[in-house]
Amino acid sequence: MPLKLEPVSEKFVALVRGVDLREPLSGEDRDAIVAACDTYGVLVFPDQLLSKEELVAFGNSFGEVDTTLQKKLMHRIQNRLGMDTVTDISNVDAEGNVAGAEHWQTITTVGNRFWHSDGSYKDLPIRYSILNAVTAVGYGGETQYADLRAAYDSLDDVTRELIAEKVGIFWSHNTRDWLHIPDSEEERSAFPKVKWPLVRTHPGSGRKVLWCDSKVYAIEGMSIPEGRALTHELIEHIGQREHVYSHKWKPGDVVMADNRCTVHRGRRFIHSERREMRRVETVDDVHSLGPA
């Protein structure tokens, strides 16, 4: 059966059917998925219950799978899945029980509830984030995706002019610092701050993106308060309903997002419900402007 696309809207998010992600991808299907992701930014593959290894193999079809976050930070918490290539996005403790609100595994994922592009704080960021739901919760727990291309297109002229040449300083622990998550100095400096232009071009579609998220610590050439207020405004603009797709998870869903043109956030859920997802990330090939 050929791969079949069902766009959710004309230029953002498509459902993909007619492919079994447990099997190695044909070159044709791989190229079709890349082209679809270039256009739609987010692809939803329903009914794909993958093993960890199958998820990694799917990710590897699109480039090197990232291991830096696991090795530098996540394994300090727990390593339930036992792999450097798969991130455990869950409220499950090392023994497999649902972790409560006070558990470190739960606390450390609170930062995911703020708009971000995976790896925006890295010199070499993430291209694709691929999430696979193992279990889904009844209330909340959606992942929302926002289109940074549409967000750029809908800026007013004065704001577009203001940010045209601006450079943001991105920091891995920006949100965690604000949330008062008590990380060590070693953890806080695991990923040195990097600089990115606030306006970039998405190579997949050739469209400009508003490159701003919750990792922005400061904007060069602006006072800290003015830069942070502008960052807050830009993130609010990005998160407007017309730029956003909200995904309500079902077990077996795979969602592949292009971080070069989207941001996302997880929504609140009830801690006693088991929410278990696995994530694989592929490494991009475009470096930041360098250390801040």
Strands (E), the chain: 4-7, 14-17, 42-45, 87-90, 126-135, 143-147, 167-170, 194-197, 199-201, 208-210, 216-219, 244-247, 254-258, 262-266, 276-283
Q: Give least dist CB 223 to Fe ion, A.
A: 29
Q: 55's torsion region: left (phi>0), alpha (psi -120 to 50) or beta?
A: alpha
Q: Give least dist CB 119 to Fe ion, A.
A: 9
Nearer to Fe ion, 118 or 253 (CB): 118
Q: Give least dist CB 262 to Fe ion, A.
A: 10
Q: Give least dist CB 67 to Fe ion, A.
A: 16
Give the full edge-to-edge strand order of the sheet including 143-147: 244-247, 143-147, 262-266
Q: Which residue has the tokens 């579609």?
A: 205
**Cα 163 to Cα 59: distance, rounded to the nearest angstrom:** 34
DSSP for residue 277: E
Q: Give least dist CB 266 to Fe ion, A.
A: 8
Binding to Fe ion in span 111-140, by CB under 5 A: 118
Nearer to Fe ion, 205 or 262 (CB): 262
Nearer to Fe ion, 88 or 118 (CB): 118
What is the three-class DSSP state of 108?
coil
Residue nearest to Fe ion (CB): 118
Structure tokens at 136: 């889904």
Structure tokens at 232: 């807050």
Binding of Fe ion by 281 (CB under 5 A): no
Q: Give least dist CB 198 to Fe ion, A.
A: 20
User: Hey, what amino acid is at 274?
Assistant: R
Angle at 74 between CA 70 and CA 80, to 5 degrees: 90
Strand 14-17 relative to strand 42-45, pairing: parallel
Beta-bridged to residue 219, according to DSSP, are 168
Nearer to Fe ion, 89 or 169 (CB): 89
Nearer to Fe ion, 50 or 277 (CB): 277
Nearer to Fe ion, 149 or 215 (CB): 215
Nearer to Fe ion, 196 or 227 (CB): 196
Q: Give least dist CB 267 to Fe ion, A.
A: 13
Nearer to Fe ion, 122 or 227 (CB): 122
**Cα 284 to Cα 243: distance, rounded to the nearest angstrom:** 24
Give the C-alpha distances (Å, rounded to integers) separating 90 from 136, 170, 186: 10, 25, 24
**Count of residues of this chain found to bind Fe ion when the rule CB under 5 A is applied:** 1
Q: Are 52 and 70 in contact (CB under 8 A)?
A: no
Q: Give least dist CB 123 to Fe ion, A.
A: 18
Where do contacts with Fe ion occur on this chain (CB under 5 A)?
Answer: 118
